[in-house]
Amino acid sequence: MWQAEQVRQRLASLYPGITVNVLGVPGPDDGARATGCERSTMIKDLEAAMAEGRADLAVHALKNLPSEVSPGFTIAGITAREDPRDAFVSSRFRSLDEMPEGAVIGTSSMRRHAQLRERRPSLVVKPLRGDIEARLRALESGRCDALIVAASSLKRAGFGSRIGMLLEPDESLPAPGQGALAVECRSDRPELVAALARLGDPATTLATAAERAFSRVLGDTATAPLAAYAEWEEGALWLRGLIASPSGKELLRGERDAEVDDVEGAQALGRELADEFLARGAARLLSA
C-alpha cells in the first residue's frame, strides 16, 4: 500500500486533474508473506483485479515480480531506484561486526542468509518472515538481536531512522531488482501503457533488465540464494552476480561489464554472466 501511494502521488503530479484511487487487494497474513507461493498468489490476485476491470494498474516491488510477466500483461514502467542496499537494524548493536558470537540475526532471505554465514559464521541466522512492521516487532520482542532487511523497504515505510548501518554491495549483494518498483498493466491498453511509461527511469530500467536476465537463466526463483546488482560506471553497465549453497559454505561470484544502449543489450549482459556461472557449476548449487 505504501508503494501504491507513492505511484499514486507521482501520477497525480504528472497528470494534474485526474483522480487516482488505491484499491487494496487482501494479501496473506504476516507469517506467510515471504513464501514464494504466497507472492505468486498475491501477483495473481492483482492481475485478476486488472483483468476484471476493477483496477487499471498494479504496483509491485520489482524483486518480487517474476522475470516473465503473465500473458496479457506488461511492465509499463520501472521507477527510479530507491537505495538498493541491505540494512542492519538493531537496538543493541551499532554494526554487524559488533555482534558477538552466538548472537541472533533475523532475515527473510536465503540470499542474505548465505552471505551472512560466509562473513560471520559464528552468528545464529534465524528465518524471519512477515512485512517490515512484523519483523521490527520480532526485534523489539527479543526474538532476535538484529535484522538484515532491504533499506528501500524501511525507507518507504517511514522507518529509515531505524537503519543502524548500510551494507555495501560487496558485503551483501542485493537481490535482482531490489529497490525498484514495477508498474504493471494490461498489454491490450496501449494508451495506458504509454501514459505509465512516463513513470519509468531509463538507467534503472536497463540495470534491472540485466539483473533479471541473469536470474531468468538461472531459474528465476525468489527462494534461491541468488543475487545480482548492476550499476553504471563511466558509461558502462557493471553487473555483479552471486550464487550460494543454502548453507553459505559455497559461493560463486562473478562480474561482467558492457556498454549498453537498450534493454536487449542489458539482457544480453545478464545472460552472458549467467552462462559463465553455469559453466562454473551454478546448477549444482541451485539444485541443492
Show the DSSP H helices in the chain as ranges. 2-14, 36-51, 110-119, 132-140, 151-156, 190-196, 202-217, 263-279, 282-287
Cell numbers found for residue 46: 492483482
Tens digit of pLDDT per residue, the chain (288 long)?
A: 888 998 999 999 999 989 999 988 776 543 344 455 667 888 999 999 999 999 999 999 999 898 889 999 999 999 999 999 999 999 999 999 999 999 999 998 889 999 999 889 999 999 988 888 999 999 999 999 999 999 998 998 889 999 999 999 999 999 999 999 999 999 999 999 999 999 999 999 999 999 999 999 998 766 678 999 999 999 899 999 999 987 778 899 999 999 999 999 999 999 999 999 999 999 888 887
Domains 1-81+178-200 and 86-167 share a fold: yes
Give me the phi and psi of 170, to 5 degrees please.
-75, -10
Using DSSP, state whether 258 is helix, strand or coil: strand
For 130, other C-beta atoms within 10 Å of its C-beta total 19
Contact 126, 105 (CB under 8 A): yes
Residues composing the chain: 288
Q: Which CATH number fits domain 1-81+178-200: 3.30.70.250, 3.40.190.10, 3.40.50.300, 3.10.110.10?
A: 3.40.190.10
Residue carrying C-alpha cell 518498483:
181
Q: In the prediction, which pLDDT does 34 show? A: 44
Quote the CA–CA distance of 89 and 87 in Å, as a whole number. Answer: 6
**Matching residue, cell 511509461:** 197
CATH H superfamily, domain 86-167: Periplasmic binding protein-like II (3.40.190.10)
For the chain, domain boundaries:
1-81+178-200, 86-167, 201-280
Write down the CATH number for the domain with range 201-280. Answer: 3.30.160.40
